[in-house]
Amino acid sequence: MRIVVDSYAWIELFIGGKSGKRAGEHIEMASEVYTPDTVLAEVARKYLREKFSKSVISERLKTISELSRIVTVTPEIALGSAECYLDLLQKAKKEKLRNPSLFDAITLAVTKHLKAKVLTGDEHFKNLSETLWLNSGGDETEQQARV
């Protein structure tokens, strides 16, 4: 199976809880693993806000780059991202969630472009046909600061 790993899944992997363990298992079993380049920026931003050292952040970004192929935004993915954003925004309003980020839309567009599944626990992706869901509720690590 081809998977796209979003920032939620990478952060859970680094935390090492139950969701992180499942993320690692999915990554190991996948035939192809991809990460949108925007996820690198999201992960770096989260860790910098949480006062991680630049060397730790660099090491984690290197790990992501070694375990997956980094996908850049092309004109085709950019257009798909705009469409995905509108779909995610409509879903968020219906489910009374905060607005999705453009990064969420890019991740979904990359997933669709690659005909893959997105590995995540982000509520914006819950119940989408493209989603491999990590967060089953009570026993999972919750990321305190949003990505």
Structure tokens that stand for 127 in this block: 């119940």
CB-neighbour burial class of residue 49 (10 A; exposed 0-12, middle 13-18, buried 19+): exposed
DSSP state of 2: E
Q: With contact defined as beta carbons under 8 Å apart, do 120 and 134 qualify?
A: yes
What does each of the 147 residues of the chain score in pLDDT, given as a tens digit?
999 999 999 999 999 999 999 999 999 999 999 999 999 999 999 999 999 999 999 999 999 999 999 999 999 999 999 999 999 999 999 999 999 999 999 999 999 999 999 999 999 999 999 999 997 654 334 444 445
